[in-house]
Structure 1
Amino acid sequence: MCLLHYASDGEDVLRYKIDSLRSQLANAVSEYNSFTAGPVVQLSQALDIYILESQQKQSKKGRK
């Protein structure tokens, strides 16, 4: 039971990070008025990493 709660907490943290980065990315695109400005690209790449991690976790769940 404790392990399930821990997994859920980890998923919540990951979901929060993804939502936070999405918001930061949207703000950066508005601020720089560009999809290719350095800070925008950095945020996008960071978001990609977390989305990939989330997808991998979901994939592992589906195989169990």
Structure 2
Amino acid sequence: MVRPLRRAQPTWLVLRHPGTDDEMGRSLLLLDAVTARWGVTQNARGKTVWCELPDGSGSPL
């Protein structure tokens, strides 16, 4: 299953590894941990973050 998420913010997303005291920066780390794969595409209205969810068989799609 592919799920797009649209965001109007123009800034590009970067996978970070925040410190234990950081209050932000975990969204993509969580996305990376629970999806088979993900990416970002830029468009005129902002960007779309998409992800492929595992099919439940234990192997990526």
State TM-score, norm by structure 1. Answer: 0.27
Q: Which structure has the larger Rg?
A: 1
Bigger helix share: 1
Q: For CA contacts below 8 A with separation 6 or more, give which structure has more relative contact order.
A: 2
TM-score (norm 2): 0.28
Please identify which structure carries the higher strand content: 2
